[in-house]
Structures are given as C-alpha cells and as structure tokens.
Amino acid sequence: MKMKAAYTLLGILSDFSQKKVKAYLDEELDMWARRGVHGHFSGKHPWALGDECIVELMADIVGARKEEVALMNGLTVNLHLQMYAVESQLQLHGLDVEKCMLMIQPRKGEETLRIEDILDIIEKEGDSVAVILLSGVQYYTGQLFDIPRITKAGQEKGCYVGFDLAHAAGNIELHLHDWGVDFACWCSYKYLNSGAGGLAGAYIHEKHSQTIKPALIGWWGHEFKTRFLMENKLQLSPGINGFRLSNPPILLVCALHASLEVFGQTTMKALRRKSILLTGYLEYLIKHYYSEDKANPEKPFVKIITPPKTEERGCQLTLVFSVPIKSVFKELEKRGVACDMREPNALRVAPVPLYNSFHDVHRFIEILGSAITSAKQTANNAATS
Ligand SMILES: *Cc1c(COP(=O)(O)O)cnc(C)c1O
C-alpha cells in the first residue's frame, strides 16, 4: 500500500475551504477555552456528535445512505477494522500470504488491467475467494475500475466485494448503495482536502447492517442512547456505526466539515462533468504538443499510461517521459507546479475540477514544454561533458 501527499496540478489549494477551516477551528478552540469538558454535550456542535453532524455530507459524495457511512480513524485503520488490510491480517491469522492472497497484474507489456481479465479471474477463482478488494481508482496509473460490474461478478460467486476509494472519493461519481458494494473505505485528505491525517470514511451496505459485526469492539460502537450508562451490556449500533471505537476528534472534524460544505455547494455529477472536459483538454494538449514523432527521434516526448476512455479514469493522468523524469520534475517545481513523481518513471498530474481551471491546464502545458526542453538540455550536457 502506497501513501502519498496531496497533489494538485498547479498547487492552487482551495482558498475558500482553508478560510472556513480556520473559522471552525477557532470556534471549537474558543468553546474549549470557555466550557472545557462541557463542550462534549453542549454548543452548536457537541463534540460527542461531531462526526455524526457531517456524515450526511460525506454520504452524498460516495452515494450512500447516512446510516451506511461512518467517519473515523485513518484509512489503513479502517481497512484493518473491516478485516481486510490483507497481508497483515493473513499473517495475524497465521495464514500463508502466498497461498491466500491472489493479486491481479496487467498483461505483459501493458500498464493497466483489462476488465475482462478481472472478470475472468473472478469467474475462475471466485468459488474459493472470500473477499475481493480493489481500489476504485488505481493510485499509480489512475485507472478507474468498473465498480458495479466487478461487484456484481464477485457477488454472483458468493464473495464479499469491497473497494479502497482513497483516489476515488471526491474524484469520480460513486453510487455505493445502488451498486450494492458490500464495504468500502477512503481517506479524506486527497481529493477531499481535509488536511494531512484527516478523518477517514468507511461504509458497509445496509443489507449487512444486522449481519456483519466488528471483530474488535469499542465503546463508541455502542448505541448512543445507552452508551454513557456504562452498564457493561453491549448494545451494538447496526452496520458500520458499530465499528466505531473512540470519540470523534473534533479538530479533524472541523477541517473535514469545512471542505465537505464546499462540496455540498455542488454535486459530484457536476464536478465530474467538468472533470471529464478538464482532463480531456489536458490529454488533448499533451498529445498535440508532446507526442512521439518517429520522423524526429531527437524530439523529447510524453506518453500517457492512464486509460484513454473517460469511463476508465478520474481526473488524474499518469505521464511517462523520454527524458529523465527527475529533471522534468525538478524543472516543474522550479516553475511553481506541484505534481507528484513516482519511481521509476511516472509523473501524476491531476487537474481538480473543484479549483483548477482550463486556463490552469493551458499554463501547465506551456510550463511542461519549457521543463522538458531544460531536462533534455541537462541530459545532453551530461552526455557531452
Ligand atoms: C493514500 C492511501 C492510503 C493512506 O492511508 P492512511 O491510513 O490514510 O495513511 C492507503 N491506501 C491507498 C490506496 C492510498 O492511496
């Protein structure tokens, strides 16, 4: 599992949500100063209900019902709680990772997975598989998987089907409930802008609300009505809410709240509509200016490894270069572009529809041109010296 910091095309962070974060934090710090512990149950947003006050905004973003979503922990913690941080859970239970974990790889010479290969593995191996876990959008290639189709195929074989939506939440339209996805989790600090280490999300479909129970139980999973009686008699909240362990961290709630309110002013449908055009524009310009020219082998070029079909990608494009990536990245940074480099040879750029414009994309293309030229120059100099 790879971790990474937020990356945006031109590093223009959404100013409006940052302002709200500060206001909300100030409000809670003030409350803390004036009321101390009583902030737990009084005030506009009692801390004990901090997460529940904003969960509906999050549910809208992933296409789930309010009762199907909980805001808690970090993403990896939620993967563990939902019992599927796979390798580590297999080891914990004394199972052989080699034998018990089936990984899907792209075909030789290809960068992304073919849906027919995923469905084929499910068809062949599904009878012996308990849980299928995939990312919604693959972090390296930017490939978006056909979540409803994979869900249906897996469930027909009797598997639970879940998704790590770290790169999908706030990026693409999701309909977790309608698609019947069994479980999912995601972090909120990539496309959802909640700040490093922000509060993560987790989902379990309502059809499992009485049957899927947490293996590890904490007092916050206890029904609110009787939670504070401390009678030592568990009344577990149904579904994902029963998986909650601890008090919600109110300062993280503030940051997430500010961001989700900005998302609440639009819809994922509208953002996605702009996103398809914005990423399409970026793709068009890259191909137009920086494609490989067989007649001119000296000309440096850029290749896009993200799938070309809009339904197979979100806003991110992953680029590979004919010139050394490290110097392209350095030249871009020098010119004020914040994007993300992955060894050995990939640069991830993500024009984000919430706050990047078509003009930003155009500017990026111009800057990319001069960065590539400088990188090529550096490589030539190194070769001749
Ligand atoms: C970002 C990311 C994570 C990060 O997990 P944290 O627990 O929030 O640090 C995990 N998985 C994937 C696929 C990611 O992209």
Q: What is the pLDDT of residues 357-374, one digit of tens each?
A: 999 999 999 999 999 999
How far is 337 from 367, CA to CA, in rounded Å? 8
Could you identify the residue written with the tokens 């200016």?
A: 289
Reduce the DSSP state of residue 260 to 3 states and report it: helix
Task: Kindly list the strands in the beta sheet with 340-342, ordered across the sheet, starting from the edge strand earlier in the chain.
Answer: 302-304, 317-321, 346-349, 340-342
CA of 86 to the centre of ligand 1 (A): 14
How far is 282 from 276, CA to CA, in rounded Å? 10
Q: Which of 288, 279, 257 is nearest to 353 (CA)?
A: 279
- Average pLDDT across the chain, whole number: 92
Q: Provide the pLDDT confidence category of residue 16 given band limits of 50, 70 and 90.
A: low
Query: Which residue's alpha carbon is at the smallest distance from atom 1 of ligand 1?
Result: 3
How many other CB atoms are found less than 10 A from the CB of residue 134? Answer: 17
Those residues whose C-beta lies under 8 Å from the C-beta of residue 237, and which sit 6 or more positions away, are 221, 222, 223, 224, 244
Query: Which residue's alpha carbon is at the smallest distance from atom 12 of ligand 1?
Result: 166
Q: What is the pLDDT of residue 339?
A: 86
Mean pLDDT on 285-296? 96
Q: What is the pLDDT of residues 51-84, one digit of tens each?
A: 999 999 999 999 999 999 999 999 999 999 987 7
- In this predicted structure, the answer to whether residue 14 has a pLDDT above a threshold of 60 is no
Q: Which of 366, 197, 363, 353 is nearest to 290 (CA)?
A: 366
- In this predicted structure, the answer to whether residue 15 has a pLDDT above a threshold of 80 is no
Residues with Cβ within 6 A of ligand 1?
Answer: 1, 3-4, 74-76, 135, 139, 164, 166-167, 187, 200
- Nearest ligand 1 atom to the CA of 78 is 7
Mean pLDDT on 109-138? 95
- In this predicted structure, the answer to whether residue 40 has a pLDDT above a threshold of 70 is yes
Contact 235, 61 (CB under 8 A): no
Query: Which residue's alpha carbon is at the smallest distance from atom 14 of ligand 1?
Result: 166
Q: Which of 132, 144, 197, 140 is nearest to 169 (CA)?
A: 144
How far is 317 from 121, CA to CA, in rounded Å? 27
Helix (H) or strand (E) holding 205: none
Could you give the angle at the alpha carbon of 196 between the alpha carbons of 170 and 179, nearest 5°? 25
Provide the annotated binding site for pyridoxal 5'-phosphate: 75-76, 135, 164, 167, 189, 219, 247
User: Could you tell which of 2, 73, 75, 82 is best to mutate to test the pocket of ligand 1, judged by most ligand atoms within 8 Å of the CB?
Assistant: 75
Q: What is the pLDDT of residues 315-349, one digit of tens each?
A: 999 999 999 999 999 999 999 998 899 888 899 99
Q: What is the pLDDT of residue 11?
A: 39
- Nearest ligand 1 atom to the CA of 190 is 1
Q: What percentage of the chain reaches a pLDDT higher than 70? A: 95
Model confidence pTM above 0.85: yes
Contact 142, 316 (CB under 8 A): yes
DSSP string, 48-101: GGHHHHHHHHHHHHHT--GGGEEE-S-HHHHHHHTT--HHHHHHHTT--HHHH-
Q: Provide the pLDDT confidence category of residue 2 given band limits of 50, 70 and 90.
A: very low
Query: Which residue's alpha carbon is at the smallest distance from atom 8 of ligand 1?
Result: 75
- In this predicted structure, the answer to whether residue 4 has a pLDDT above a threshold of 50 is no
Q: What is the pLDDT of residue 18?
A: 66
Handedness of CA 70, 71, 75, 78 (dihedral sign): negative
Could you identify the residue written with the tokens 């030249």?
A: 331
CA of 139 to the centre of ligand 1 (A): 9
How far is 17 from 24, CA to CA, in rounded Å? 10
Q: What is the pLDDT of residues 207-222, one digit of tens each?
A: 999 999 998 889 999 9
Q: What does the DSSP 8-state code read for residue 196?
A: T
Tokens of 327: 């110097």
Mean pLDDT on 43-52? 91
Those residues whose C-beta lies under 8 Å from the C-beta of residue 120, and which sit 6 or more positions away, are none
How far is 375 from 328, CA to CA, in rounded Å? 5
